[in-house]
Structure 1
Amino acid sequence: MTTLDRTAKSPRRTPEQWTASVTNFLESGLSAPKFCKQQNISYASFSKWRQRLATKNIDQAFKSDQPASFIDVSSLMNESTHWNITLKLGNGVELILNQT
């Protein structure tokens, strides 16, 4: 029985490198697991960074001085992604969107 050498880890990526990877993924047309395998990226780490960057972009849109007229959620449209979005429209009206 052989053991795997777990001391050889991939180098840590900077936030800028993760941003570039997510951008490349969005332009690739591949599924996230296929993209990660092709790029030798951990799918779990990629998913975490993809969500972190999407959340950061949405937060920045809400913090801007200009009213947001559109928030791009196209990065969420992937068959392997699960998400829930609740829009509170006022007067107790909520629009709930999800993909499971």
Structure 2
Amino acid sequence: MTSATTSNNKRQRRSREAWGEVLTRFAASGLEIEAFCAHEGLSVSSFRRWRSLLADDVSRGVELPPPGAPQTGFVDAGLLGAGGRLELRLDLGAGVILHLSRG
């Protein structure tokens, strides 16, 4: 097996935003799902699953950033509060709150 064949068999993991971009391309393509997925090298079942997940997000009012927008919200907690106490509280929505403390 050649390295090119090996690399073609690897599954690519896409972020939520990347799937949003895929769905935008699909909407503009005018192709049927099967043809679009074959052209993009996607699994039809993965495509349908993500289309459903993102449609659920839209129906709940969750907005995806526009395609190509920089990702925001990353905090390197290793640099914050060095040598002192750090408390971080994140509201993840749907009643889920993540509370981290250090020090």
User: Which sections of structure 1, spanning at least 5 residues, go unmatched?
Assistant: 62-100
Q: Distance in 2 between matches of 1:23 and 1:31?
A: 14
Tell me the residue number matched to 1:54.
Answer: 55
- RMSD across aligned positions (CA): 1.6
Matched residue type, 1:44: S
Structure 2: tracts of 5 or more residues without a match: 1-5, 63-103
Aligned to 2:39: 38
CA distance in 1, matches of 2:47, 2:10: 15
Q: Displacement, 1:9?
A: 2.3
Q: Please show how residues 58-77 of structure 1 align to structure 2 within 5 Å.
A: 58-60=59-61
- Matched length: 55
- Structure 1: which 4+ aligned runs deviate by more than 4 Å? none
Pairing 1:1-100 to 2, within 5 Å after superposition: 8-60=9-61
AA at the equivalent of 1:49:
W
User: In 1, Cα distance between the equivalents of 2:42 and 2:52?
Assistant: 15
Name the % identity: 35
Find the aligned partners of 1:58 and 1:19 in 2 and give their Cα distance: 15
Report the secondary structure of 1:24's partner residue. Answer: helix
Residues 72-92 of structure 1 show CA distances to partners (whole Å, capped at 9, x for unaligned) of xxxxxxxxxxxxxxxxxxxxx
Max Rg structure: 2
